[in-house]
A = this chain, B = another copy of it.
Amino acid sequence: MEARMSLDVARIKADFPILRRQVRDGRLVYLDSANTSQKPQAVIDAMAHYYENSNANVHRGTYLIAEEATAGLEGARAKVARFIGAASEREVIFTKNATEALNLVVKAWGRSHLKAGDPVVITELEHHANIVPWHQLVEEIGIELRWIPVGPDGHLDLTDLDRLLDGARVLSFAAMSNVLGTILPIDRLVAAARAVGAIAIIDASQYVPHVATDVQAWGADFVAFTGHKMCGPTGIGVLWGTEAILDDTPPFLTGGEMILNVTKEGFTVNELPWKFEAGTPPIAEAVGLGAAVDYLESVGMESIREHEVTLTGYALRTLTERLGDRLTIHGPAEPAERGGVLSFVVDDIHPHDLTQVFDQYGVCVRAGHHCAKPLMRSMGLGATARASLYLYNDEADVDALAAALESAADFFAF
């Protein structure tokens, strides 16, 4: 069955050199984009071009290539700012990944604004990056960590939201679950946080790569995401914050770049965004991320989302039809309420054994807890297999997964 697709996926696939690779006598079927995305040639080339023509340190040099490098870094910042609807590029801070971005918020804003007993509310479906830094604050200053539960349908259970938010100083949540694909009710959550005077932090690591994002419309205080999941390189992440809250946040990592003045007695911080960027920034990585933004925009975020919804529907139907009752797919049943992240288990076959068989067919799927152990535990699961879709995936990829699943089910059917 050929579903109507708005993207020319064959052409898009051709943009990604790794997808031409043959493994284990077949083509590479990459279904692990929630883990990290592949990179189009344009991104790889932009970084090589930077190193081959304009490599220099930024904000420091008084010569041509240093100006080019600075324009590359700051131009990428402007692109990212536009891409997410920031009010100004002063609000866009480059970090090394989403994890550093969230740690910055917790350790710089959190440590300076929270005190013992202050309630911080997160959800049960958070990635460890939005859990463990809070655990450190529990240990360090005794904040109280509260959890919004997840229901069996993969959606947040908001029954007790008011009670959970009572007196809260912070509400921090993922825009999209990296395990269940669930898209969270962002507007409602931000409004609820605002209503009790809590700040709102959004971990948009799984959202920004897949759905058009407007941080100003969300109205949150901080938004974190990561370059390598959005067709960009490793080594770069983004923290967006409103100017007001960034101005009210002390510096985190310190050293070069982020200072205005240093004496033996102390230091004065630089203006935004550099105040939060200590040391040589990820320059080539910013150039690559800028190229990734260009690439995604050239395809169109609306088209990408539409394609993924369609393909997710196809995957949910196909896998259920072909595997039947032995297969359980977790997360929302309705494609429009989720991203293309499919966590599943097959009766009597451990996910790790499943993916081992998949590998024989060149099918790349992750098995494990996906850095969301509290969620796994609440679902009563040790591990799931997780296939995740992106703009370069098509029905043939889903079919390859289904075939590999059938083969694994046969092999382990004792």
Contact A374 B264, beta carbon cutoff 8 Å: yes
Interface of chain A, main secondary structure: mixed
Q: Which of A155-163, A191-199, A253-261 contacts B (4 or more CB under 8 A)?
A: A253-261
Contact A23 B359, beta carbon cutoff 8 Å: no
Tell whether A55 is near chain B: CB-to-CB under 8 Å.
Answer: yes
Which B residues lie within 8 Å of A358 (CB)?
Answer: 63
Contact A234 B36, beta carbon cutoff 8 Å: no
Q: Which residue of B lies closest to A227 (CB)?
A: B280
Which B residues lie within 8 Å of A66 (CB)?
Answer: 32, 364
Which of under 10, 10 to 19, 20 to 34, or 35 or more describes the interface residues of A?
A: 35 or more
List A241-266 residues whose CB lies under 8 Å from chain B: 251, 253-259, 261-264, 266
Contact A63 B359, beta carbon cutoff 8 Å: yes
**Min CB–CB distance A327 → chain B (angstroms):** 18
Q: Considering the chains assembled together, what is the distance between the CA atoms of A263 and B127 in angstroms?
A: 12
Q: Considering the chains assembled together, what is the distance between the CA atoms of A377 and B265 in angstroms?
A: 12
Q: Which residue of B lies closest to A62 (CB)?
A: B355
Q: Considering the chains assembled together, what is the distance between the CA atoms of A83 and B17 in angstroms?
A: 32
Which B residues lie within 8 Å of A410 (CB)?
Answer: none
Q: A325-353 CB contact bits vs B (8 Å, 1 = yes)?
A: 00000000000000000000000000010
**Min CB–CB distance A121 → chain B (angstroms):** 13
- In the complex, the 7 A-B pairs of residues with the closest C-beta atoms, listed nearest first: A99-B279, A235-B235, A129-B255, A99-B255, A235-B282, A132-B254, A96-B96
| Chain A interface residues toward B at CB < 8 A | 17-18, 21, 23-24, 28, 30, 32, 35-36, 38-39, 43-44, 47-48, 51-57, 60-66, 95-100, 102-103, 127-133, 135-136, 138-139, 145, 147, 226, 228, 233-237, 251, 253-259, 261-264, 266-267, 278-285, 352, 355-356, 358-359, 362-368, 371, 373-374, 377
- Starting from the known contacts A63-B365, A64-B364, A136-B251, 18 additional A-B residue pairs (CB-CB under 8 Å) come to A17-B51, A28-B65, A32-B56, A36-B55, A43-B51, A62-B365, A62-B367, A66-B364, A96-B282, A103-B254, A129-B255, A131-B262, A132-B259, A135-B262, A135-B266, A234-B282, A234-B285, A235-B285
